[in-house]
Chain A
Amino acid sequence: MIRENTALLLEVRGLTARIGDRNILKGIDLTVRAGEVHAIMGPNGSGKSTFAKVLSGHPSYEVTGGEVLFEGRNLFELAPEERARAGLFLGFQYPIEVPGVTNSAFLRLAYNTVQGTRGKEELDPLEFDDLVREKMKLLDIDPSFLGRSLNAGFSGGEKKRNEILQMALLEPKLAVLDETDSGLDIDALRVVANGINKLHTPDNGMVLVTHYQRMLNYIVPDYVHVMEGGRIIRTGDKALALELEARGYDWVGKEAA
């Protein structure tokens, strides 16, 4: 929801980044305020996933220029875990499988770590169990999930639900969701999208990175940005997403050129 003069969550100015000697981000500008939903769309290889990873501090990418402020703080002075504790959340396109660590143990560890650094109360296993089961209902997750290993052997849909469950527990100020819709069938997409909508408040912001428009049928963006060649080449409202769905990405590039 766009409102005047809400808190600035994210200010990205002239961000450039590379992996190895390949420049991928070539000057990104983006401002996200509390309450807003932004969609970043673009063809494969346009740099949108890289942008998400750079924001969360992925070690494979090197920031070569520009600046990013998160609630006014220089984001690049923070380690990945500090960014998470400060309230930045990345929903992974390909969540990592960790056999041997149960979901319940991992979720509680992450929850308590973040709570502790925010000066909030940590929960013992029983209290946490109540909380996590409540949040699981939101995403229609089977209770047996808690005893399974973190993402190990999960279907694509289960992994994405788990990402959003983590988001629900960690209550970020800004969630960057990288291709959360990929790998979901239509029923799972509806459940996950409804879960995301319920987590969205006037105080937090969302950046949805997606290739397809279909998730935006459920989560209505305030802004739609089109990325290509490592830059945002066009910004519009939700109508732009529909136009992209109908016409593809080629025309945007041509108009921008």
Chain B
Amino acid sequence: MNTETRSDYLDSLLHGRDLVPEARAGWLKALRAQAVERANALTVPTTRDEDWRFTDLSPLYKVPYRPSAQPGEIAAAEFGRFEIPEAATRLTFVDGNFSAALSRMKPADGVFVANLPDALAAHDRLVESRLGKLAGTGQDAFAAVNTAFLHDGALIHAGRDHKGIAPIHLLFIATRKDGAAYPRVLVIAEPGAQCTLIEDFAGLADGAYFTDAVTEIAVGENAHVAHVKLQREAQTAFHIARTSVQVARDGHYSNWSVALGARISRHNLHVMQAGEGSEFSIDGLALIGGRQLADTNSLIDHAHAHGRSRQLHKTVVGGGAHAVFNGKIFVRRDAQHTDAGQQSRNLLLSDKAHVDTKPQLEIFADDVKCAHGATVGQIEAEELFYLKSRGLSDATARNLLTYAFAAEVIQRIPVKSLVERLENHVLEQTQIKS
């Protein structure tokens, strides 16, 4: 693809801007206009870009996906499976638009949750001061396009020292073939605050559609943010998401990202240490088969001293699927006494399954403790034999070992009903594959 076609595609996406409401606030208008300008200056990535070497997006570029200001209809019976009982608050967005009817608000003391227009009405200056600051559109064409369309989304604001125990469920459902949605999330945890959010991307559409999501999370001093990202898009979907996180002094950020759906998915996860003593725990799981591709591109940036990070990324790859992991840990010169660990573990279920994994450490401080490793393998013959020697069939034994491999990540997710649902999902998936 030549450069012209590459910028043409962004242009064709941007043509859909007429279909979403205009911004009312002047600053938001300006933010969107800047993003359009930025997008116009950029081209979409191809496999010639180092960061996209293993992920060929050309199937995406065949259709100019269009957003809609009219959310599609969802039958109550279909909606039931998205219920997460632990979440007292749920914001539902259908095809990129907030649906009050499918949402439920239980105001928790000190934690403000709202869709973007309501958030602007209540906290215009707060949103203005933070939105678009972490996920600077930089070289990321898809973040720029997301910002160019910014009209709805979610704000979570956890006030100083407030502990929101119940998770907040942000549910994004796509219903339209050839549709595009640009979900946007802003999370602000003030110093000492604590909150848990579940970002949940699902699809009911029959056919291809495009989700281009951006999430910004600012974790204040000594605040704790727990973040589950569940990508269960339709198998025909394209899903590209950026999560940009900044963690202040002694703040904690935990992320569990699970990729089950989409034909091609990409998660750009950028976690930045903005003060001493921050801690990150980053877990990923991709469970894919058929012709799916799931790509995780993470950057953990230790920019201050005494930071600690643990990353475990696992993939289970069946059929002719392809998993990609690019995980960089950056330890800057001033980030003395950093303690960073990163593991990439990959399980191939078939001969045609494929994994590209590239864990990287770049260390510029001299007094640090860093370790990383990667494994790619199939189910161990010894483990299989052990289970079979207890009477389990070959298929059951394989399923159990696959389940166990994935369960290590799943069981760390702090939402019990999700753990159970994901465990069942893994068991069902592996049974189909056997």
Contact = CB atoms under 8 A, between A and B. Distances in A.
Q: Do A and B bind each other?
A: yes
Contact of B405 (A79, A92, A100): A100
Contact of A57 (B389, B391, B406): B389
24 contacts: A58-B385, A59-B385, A79-B388, A79-B394, A81-B388, A81-B394, A84-B388, A84-B390, A96-B383, A96-B386, A98-B383, A98-B387, A99-B408, A100-B405, A100-B408, A101-B400, A101-B403, A101-B407, A106-B387, A106-B390, A109-B400, A110-B387, A113-B396, A149-B404
A170 B386 contact: no
Contacts of B388: 57, 79-81, 84
A166 interface: yes
A198 to B, nearest CB: 20
A114 interface: yes
B382 interface: yes
B226 interface: no
Contact of B391 (A59, A84, A96, A100): A84
B100 interface: no
Contacts of A92: 386, 389
B404 A100 contact: yes
Contacts of B407: 100-101
The 9 nearest A-B residue pairs measured at CB: A100-B404, A100-B407, A96-B386, A110-B390, A84-B391, A114-B391, A80-B388, A81-B388, A101-B404
B393 interface: yes
Interface in A108-160: 109-110, 113-114, 117, 149
B391 A106 contact: no
Interface in A29-61: 56-60
A113 B405 CA distance: 22
B381 interface: yes
B399 to A, nearest CB: 10
A27 interface: no
Contacts of A170: 390-391
The residue among A100, A113, A117 with the most chain B CB atoms within 10 A of its own CB is: A100
B268 interface: no
A81 B383 contact: no
A85 interface: yes
Contacts of A117: 391
B392 A100 contact: no
Contact of A60 (B381, B396, B401, B406): B381
Contacts, number: 76
A109 B381 contact: no
B411 interface: yes
Contacts of B403: 100-101
Nearest to B384: A59
A226 interface: no
Given A98-B401, A100-B408, A113 B381 contact: no
A95 interface: yes
B389 A56 contact: yes
Nearest to A56: B389
Interface in A74-98: 79-81, 83-85, 89-90, 92, 95-96, 98
Interface in B366-390: 380-383, 385-390
Given A57-B389, A81-B388, A90-B389, A98 B404 contact: yes
Q: Point out which of A95, A96, A113 has the most chain B C-beta atoms below 10 A from its C-beta.
A: A96
Contacts of B408: 99-100
Contacts of A85: 391
A81 B386 contact: no
Given A57-B389, A83-B389, A113-B393, 7 more contacts: A60-B381, A80-B388, A80-B389, A81-B397, A92-B386, A110-B390, A110-B391
A96 B387 CA distance: 9
Contacts of A80: 385, 388-389
B390 A166 contact: yes
A109 B381 CA distance: 20
A109 B392 contact: yes
B408 to A, nearest CB: 5
| B380, B389, B406, B411: residue with the most chain A Cβ atoms closer than 10 Å | B389
A179 to B, nearest CB: 15
Most chain A CB neighbours (cut-off 10 Å) among B382, B385, B405, B406: B385
Contacts of B394: 79, 81
Contacts of B405: 100
A6 B330 CA distance: 71
Interface string A186-205: 00000000000000000000
A90 B401 CA distance: 20
A58 B404 CA distance: 22
B305 to A, nearest CB: 33
A135 B253 CA distance: 44
Nearest to A110: B390
A81 B404 contact: no
A95 B386 contact: yes
A59 B404 contact: no
Nearest to A60: B381
Contact of B411 (A57, A90, A100): A100
Contact of A81 (B382, B393, B411): B393
Given A92-B386, A98-B383, A113 B392 contact: yes
A113 B393 CA distance: 9
Contacts of B386: 92, 95-96, 98
